[in-house]
Structure formats: C-alpha cells, structure tokens
Amino acid sequence: MERIKSISKIALENNILIVEDDVQGCLMPESTPLFVNYIPDNTIFISSVSKSMAGGLRIGTLYIPGKLIRTVRNTIRIQLLMPPPLISELFSNIAMNFSLAKILEEQRAKLSSRNELASKILTDFKLNHSNYSLNLWLTLPSHWQSTSFTKAAKEEGILLKPAEAFATSNQLTANAVRISIGGSISEGQLNYSLSKIRELLYCEDVFNFS
C-alpha cells in the first residue's frame, strides 16, 4: 500500500496518467490497493468479464476520468465501432439483476478447489500462485528447459506456455512454464493433466541435446 501511495503522489505532482490493468483482481475475496482508489482523476482502470467470470463473454469494462471520456471514447471507436450488442446486453442484464456477486463467488470456489488440487499433485515442485489464480507458474527442475518441457507436454496433449513467451526482451527468463487451470475442463481432466505433468517432471529432458 505504501508503494501505491508513493507512486500516486509522484503521478499527481507530475500530472502522469496511470493505466491500471486489473482484469483478474475481482477474483480476490479481499480488495487490494488500487491506484484508482487514490488518484481516480489520473487513472484509467481496466477490468474484464472474460478473464474473470466467463470466457465466452468477450467484453471488458473501463473506468475513465471525466476529463478523458471524449478522448478515450473516440480512440476506441477508431479501433472498434461497438462491442457485440448481444454480449453487451447479456452482461448488462447480469449486472442489473445483481448476479455478478454470485457468479464471482462460484468462480472463486471452483478456482480455490483447483488450486488446492494443483498444490497437492505438484507438492514436490515450486508453484507460484494464489488460492484464486487462473494460472500457475511452475518452476522446472534443472534437468528441464521450459521450451522442451512445453514440447514434451504437448505430445501428451497438454498445452503449456514457456516463460519465454511472456518475455519483453532477450534477457534470460525464469525456467518456468505457465499452467492454466481455468476454462471448461472437468476436475477429472485437470487431475489427469496435472498428474501427467508431474510424471514428466521426473523424466529426463528428451528434447535437450546440448
């Protein structure tokens, strides 16, 4: 919180606009400190329905300071005339009927169960996640490289993302892979996939010939 306050002070003093991307923040049961709560006139806040509640609802929400509404609206119209009307209407009905809280509570319960399952199956390995994460970061043992582990998993029908896919430079990244536990897969499918990942972790890296 102190870091948020310090940066907020700098932003105000120098009239800096902050774009705050919090597309999964609503999944947390307790609100985390946000720039938009401290400096709303200097913050554009971004959230997402598809990232947090329902993948099929491809729509997001924006909080925009009053002084920027016209500029942001015109910029969006240049790129996108309008969001799909049916999806917009569906989301509006959910919001107006006060169903958002119920959907989020169900999503949290499902994610909590899935994260607990992942922690149990991969207990011998380093995982970086919260109780409500949609994705897990798995640090690989030294005998595996992230790109080759991704290939090995794909051969087993499991799609992972190596850390390199998220790097913004050519600098050395963490030897890790991202595991997605959201989506429409069943608990049985998730259990099988995580168990198969655990088996692979104990195997040798068959794709590394260095």
Measured CA to CA, the distance from residue 7 to residue 2 in angstroms comes to: 9
| Residue 74 pLDDT | 86
| Residue 172 pLDDT | 66
Element holding 178 (H helix, E strand): strand 176-180
CA torsion angle 104 58 132 125 (round to 10): 160
Measured CA to CA, the distance from residue 151 to residue 155 in angstroms comes to: 6
| Residue 208 pLDDT | 61
Residue with tokens 């011998």: 124
pLDDT tens over the chain, length 210 residues: 788 899 999 999 999 999 998 877 777 767 778 899 899 999 999 888 777 776 677 788 889 999 999 988 888 888 777 777 888 888 888 777 777 778 888 888 898 999 999 999 999 999 999 888 888 999 999 999 999 999 999 999 999 999 988 887 777 678 999 999 987 788 899 999 999 999 999 998 766 655
Residues spanned by CATH 3.40.640.10 within the chain? 2-97
Q: What single letter denotes the amino acid at residue 16?
A: I
2-97 topology per CATH: Aspartate Aminotransferase; domain 2 (3.40.640)
Measured CA to CA, the distance from residue 118 to residue 125 in angstroms comes to: 10
At how many degrees (to 10) do helices 146-155 and 187-202 cross?
130
| Residue 103 pLDDT | 81
Q: What single letter denotes the amino acid at residue 83?
A: P
**Residue 78: strand, helix, or coil:** helix
CA distance readout (Å), 131 to 23, 108, 111, 134, 197:
16, 8, 7, 9, 20
pTM: 0.77
| Residue 99 pLDDT | 76
Q: What is the CATH number assigned to the segment(s) 109-202?
A: 3.90.1150.10
Contacts of 183 (CB under 8 A, 6+ apart): 55
Sheet holding 161-162, edge to edge: 127-128, 135-139, 176-180, 161-162
Burial 181-193 (b: 16+ CB within 10 A, else e): bbeeeeeeebbeb
Q: Looking at 34-186, list the stretches that DSSP marks H as alpha helix, in order from N- to C-terminal side.
A: 35-38, 69-79, 85-96, 100-121, 146-155
Residues spanned by CATH 3.90.1150.10 within the chain? 109-202
Rg of the Cα trace of the chain?
A: 20
